[in-house]
Structure 1
Amino acid sequence: MRPAAILRAGILASLPFLPTTPATAWDRHVRQGETIARTNCARCHAVGRVGASPLSAAPPFRELHRRYPVADLGEALTEGIRTGHPSMPEFRFDPDQAEDLIAYLKSLER
Protein backbone atom coordinates (compact mmCIF):
# COMPACT_ATOMS: atom_id res chain seq x y z
CA MET A 1 0.00 0.00 0.00
CA ARG A 2 1.21 3.49 -0.79
CA PRO A 3 1.65 5.99 2.09
CA ALA A 4 -1.25 8.17 0.87
CA ALA A 5 -3.58 5.16 0.78
CA ILE A 6 -2.50 4.15 4.28
CA LEU A 7 -3.15 7.67 5.53
CA ARG A 8 -6.60 7.73 3.92
CA ALA A 9 -7.44 4.33 5.42
CA GLY A 10 -6.40 5.55 8.87
CA ILE A 11 -8.50 8.69 8.58
CA LEU A 12 -11.53 6.74 7.36
CA ALA A 13 -11.12 4.22 10.18
CA SER A 14 -11.19 7.02 12.77
CA LEU A 15 -14.38 8.65 11.40
CA PRO A 16 -16.81 6.54 13.47
CA PHE A 17 -15.24 7.98 16.63
CA LEU A 18 -15.66 11.61 15.61
CA PRO A 19 -18.80 13.47 16.69
CA THR A 20 -21.49 13.23 14.04
CA THR A 21 -22.63 16.82 14.49
CA PRO A 22 -20.67 19.80 15.73
CA ALA A 23 -21.78 21.58 18.86
CA THR A 24 -24.38 24.14 17.98
CA ALA A 25 -24.69 27.63 19.38
CA TRP A 26 -27.70 26.36 21.37
CA ASP A 27 -25.55 23.64 22.97
CA ARG A 28 -22.96 26.23 23.97
CA HIS A 29 -25.64 28.46 25.50
CA VAL A 30 -27.01 25.50 27.46
CA ARG A 31 -23.56 24.52 28.77
CA GLN A 32 -22.75 28.10 29.74
CA GLY A 33 -26.15 28.47 31.38
CA GLU A 34 -25.60 25.30 33.37
CA THR A 35 -22.29 26.71 34.59
CA ILE A 36 -24.01 29.93 35.65
CA ALA A 37 -26.72 27.95 37.46
CA ARG A 38 -24.23 25.72 39.26
CA THR A 39 -22.04 28.68 40.23
CA ASN A 40 -24.76 31.09 41.37
CA CYS A 41 -27.87 29.11 42.15
CA ALA A 42 -27.04 25.56 43.28
CA ARG A 43 -26.52 26.63 46.90
CA CYS A 44 -30.32 26.89 47.20
CA HIS A 45 -31.90 25.39 44.05
CA ALA A 46 -31.70 21.92 42.57
CA VAL A 47 -30.26 22.91 39.20
CA GLY A 48 -30.11 19.47 37.58
CA ARG A 49 -32.67 17.04 36.24
CA VAL A 50 -33.02 15.23 39.58
CA GLY A 51 -32.72 15.91 43.27
CA ALA A 52 -34.24 18.16 45.88
CA SER A 53 -33.32 21.79 46.37
CA PRO A 54 -30.95 22.36 49.31
CA LEU A 55 -33.32 25.13 50.46
CA SER A 56 -36.90 23.87 50.54
CA ALA A 57 -38.32 27.31 49.62
CA ALA A 58 -36.25 27.35 46.40
CA PRO A 59 -37.99 25.49 43.57
CA PRO A 60 -35.96 23.03 41.49
CA PHE A 61 -34.96 24.60 38.18
CA ARG A 62 -36.47 21.68 36.26
CA GLU A 63 -39.90 22.78 37.55
CA LEU A 64 -39.65 26.52 36.85
CA HIS A 65 -41.31 26.20 33.43
CA ARG A 66 -44.45 25.01 35.22
CA ARG A 67 -44.58 28.27 37.19
CA TYR A 68 -43.27 30.84 34.71
CA PRO A 69 -42.65 31.08 30.98
CA VAL A 70 -38.86 30.85 31.38
CA ALA A 71 -38.32 32.51 28.00
CA ASP A 72 -39.78 35.67 29.53
CA LEU A 73 -37.29 35.81 32.42
CA GLY A 74 -34.63 37.70 30.43
CA GLU A 75 -35.67 41.16 31.61
CA ALA A 76 -35.89 40.07 35.23
CA LEU A 77 -32.49 38.39 35.05
CA THR A 78 -30.82 41.49 33.64
CA GLU A 79 -32.62 44.07 35.80
CA GLY A 80 -32.25 42.12 39.02
CA ILE A 81 -34.29 39.07 39.87
CA ARG A 82 -35.80 38.98 43.34
CA THR A 83 -38.26 36.62 44.91
CA GLY A 84 -40.58 36.52 47.89
CA HIS A 85 -38.28 34.56 50.15
CA PRO A 86 -35.83 36.77 52.04
CA SER A 87 -32.80 34.50 51.81
CA MET A 88 -32.44 34.85 48.03
CA PRO A 89 -29.90 37.49 47.08
CA GLU A 90 -30.62 39.78 44.14
CA PHE A 91 -28.89 38.60 40.98
CA ARG A 92 -28.18 40.72 37.93
CA PHE A 93 -26.81 39.08 34.83
CA ASP A 94 -25.59 40.65 31.64
CA PRO A 95 -27.82 39.95 28.60
CA ASP A 96 -25.59 37.12 27.33
CA GLN A 97 -25.59 35.42 30.71
CA ALA A 98 -29.37 35.77 30.94
CA GLU A 99 -29.72 34.21 27.49
CA ASP A 100 -27.45 31.34 28.52
CA LEU A 101 -29.33 30.72 31.76
CA ILE A 102 -32.68 30.76 29.95
CA ALA A 103 -31.33 28.28 27.39
CA TYR A 104 -30.33 25.98 30.24
CA LEU A 105 -33.73 26.33 31.94
CA LYS A 106 -35.47 25.55 28.64
CA SER A 107 -33.27 22.46 28.22
CA LEU A 108 -34.64 21.15 31.53
CA GLU A 109 -38.20 21.23 30.15
CA ARG A 110 -37.55 18.15 28.03
Structure 2
Amino acid sequence: MALAGLLLTGQALAAVPSERRGKAPARAKCARCHAIDRVSSSGRAGAPPFRERRHRFPIEMLAEALAEGLYTGHAEMPSFQLNSNQIDDFLVFLKTLA
Protein backbone atom coordinates (compact mmCIF):
# COMPACT_ATOMS: atom_id res chain seq x y z
CA MET A 1 0.00 0.00 0.00
CA ALA A 2 2.80 2.42 0.83
CA LEU A 3 4.48 1.64 -2.49
CA ALA A 4 1.30 2.61 -4.36
CA GLY A 5 1.28 5.93 -2.51
CA LEU A 6 4.90 6.56 -3.44
CA LEU A 7 4.19 5.73 -7.08
CA LEU A 8 1.26 8.14 -7.18
CA THR A 9 3.34 10.84 -5.52
CA GLY A 10 6.10 10.23 -8.05
CA GLN A 11 3.65 10.52 -10.94
CA ALA A 12 2.26 13.77 -9.55
CA LEU A 13 5.75 15.20 -9.14
CA ALA A 14 6.70 14.10 -12.67
CA ALA A 15 3.82 16.13 -14.10
CA VAL A 16 4.86 19.36 -12.40
CA PRO A 17 7.60 20.44 -14.89
CA SER A 18 5.30 19.80 -17.86
CA GLU A 19 2.51 21.78 -16.23
CA ARG A 20 4.92 24.61 -15.42
CA ARG A 21 6.23 24.70 -18.99
CA GLY A 22 2.65 24.66 -20.31
CA LYS A 23 1.64 27.59 -18.14
CA ALA A 24 4.44 29.78 -19.50
CA PRO A 25 2.82 30.59 -22.89
CA ALA A 26 -0.54 31.05 -21.17
CA ARG A 27 1.02 33.57 -18.80
CA ALA A 28 2.90 35.35 -21.61
CA LYS A 29 0.21 35.43 -24.30
CA CYS A 30 -3.17 34.98 -22.61
CA ALA A 31 -3.22 36.09 -18.96
CA ARG A 32 -3.73 39.76 -19.77
CA CYS A 33 -7.32 38.97 -20.81
CA HIS A 34 -8.09 35.39 -19.71
CA ALA A 35 -8.00 33.96 -16.20
CA ILE A 36 -5.46 31.14 -16.34
CA ASP A 37 -6.12 29.63 -12.91
CA ARG A 38 -8.98 27.95 -11.06
CA VAL A 39 -10.43 31.00 -9.29
CA SER A 40 -9.61 34.38 -10.87
CA SER A 41 -11.88 36.43 -13.07
CA SER A 42 -10.73 37.22 -16.58
CA GLY A 43 -9.22 40.66 -17.00
CA ARG A 44 -11.26 41.37 -20.13
CA ALA A 45 -15.03 41.15 -20.29
CA GLY A 46 -16.09 38.34 -22.60
CA ALA A 47 -12.75 36.51 -22.38
CA PRO A 48 -13.60 33.09 -20.95
CA PRO A 49 -11.44 31.75 -18.12
CA PHE A 50 -9.25 28.86 -19.23
CA ARG A 51 -10.90 26.61 -16.64
CA GLU A 52 -14.10 26.78 -18.74
CA ARG A 53 -12.43 25.59 -21.96
CA ARG A 54 -13.29 21.95 -21.34
CA HIS A 55 -16.99 22.85 -21.18
CA ARG A 56 -16.85 24.43 -24.65
CA PHE A 57 -14.93 21.67 -26.48
CA PRO A 58 -12.45 18.89 -25.73
CA ILE A 59 -9.03 20.26 -24.80
CA GLU A 60 -7.31 17.89 -27.25
CA MET A 61 -9.05 19.71 -30.12
CA LEU A 62 -6.81 22.71 -29.41
CA ALA A 63 -3.67 20.82 -30.49
CA GLU A 64 -4.19 21.41 -34.21
CA ALA A 65 -5.05 25.08 -33.77
CA LEU A 66 -1.97 25.62 -31.60
CA ALA A 67 0.26 23.89 -34.15
CA GLU A 68 -1.12 25.89 -37.09
CA GLY A 69 -1.23 29.13 -35.12
CA LEU A 70 -4.03 30.77 -33.21
CA TYR A 71 -5.59 33.68 -35.05
CA THR A 72 -8.74 35.55 -34.08
CA GLY A 73 -10.96 38.22 -35.49
CA HIS A 74 -9.93 40.84 -32.93
CA ALA A 75 -6.59 42.60 -32.77
CA GLU A 76 -6.19 42.47 -28.99
CA MET A 77 -5.59 38.72 -29.01
CA PRO A 78 -2.05 37.94 -30.08
CA SER A 79 -1.50 35.27 -32.70
CA PHE A 80 1.01 32.60 -31.76
CA GLN A 81 2.09 29.13 -32.69
CA LEU A 82 3.54 26.37 -30.51
CA ASN A 83 5.75 23.40 -31.39
CA SER A 84 4.64 19.86 -30.57
CA ASN A 85 6.42 19.72 -27.19
CA GLN A 86 4.97 23.09 -26.18
CA ILE A 87 1.50 21.94 -27.24
CA ASP A 88 1.76 18.79 -25.13
CA ASP A 89 2.82 20.85 -22.11
CA PHE A 90 0.11 23.46 -22.73
CA LEU A 91 -2.59 20.76 -22.86
CA VAL A 92 -1.24 19.22 -19.64
CA PHE A 93 -1.52 22.63 -18.01
CA LEU A 94 -5.09 23.16 -19.26
CA LYS A 95 -6.14 19.75 -17.93
CA THR A 96 -4.99 20.76 -14.44
CA LEU A 97 -7.67 23.45 -14.45
CA ALA A 98 -10.50 20.97 -15.01
TM-score, normalised to structure 1, is 0.72
Q: C-alpha distance in 1, partners of 2:85/2:20? A: 13
Q: C-alpha distance in 1, partners of 2:91/2:82? A: 11
> Number of paired residues?
89
In the alignment, which of 29, 34, 37 is matched to residue 45 of structure 1? 34
Q: CA deviation at 1:78?
A: 1.2
Matched, 1:89 2:78: yes
Unpaired runs of at least 5, structure 2: 1-5
Q: CA deviation at 1:36?
A: 2.2
Unpaired runs of at least 5, structure 1: 1-19
Quick check: 1:46–1:60 contact (8 Å CA) kept in 2? yes
Greater mean deviation of Cα atoms: 76-85 or 94-103 = 76-85
Matched, 1:55 2:9: no
Q: CA deviation at 1:39?
A: 1.9
Quick check: 1:46–1:53 contact (8 Å CA) kept in 2? yes
For 2:3, the equivalent position in structure 1 comes to none
Q: Give the aligned CA root-mean-square deviation in angstroms.
A: 1.6
For 1:102, the equivalent position in structure 2 comes to 91
Q: CA deviation at 1:84?
A: 4.1
Choose 1 or 2 for highest CA Rg. Answer: 1
In the alignment, which of 58, 67, 71 is matched to residue 56 of structure 2? 67
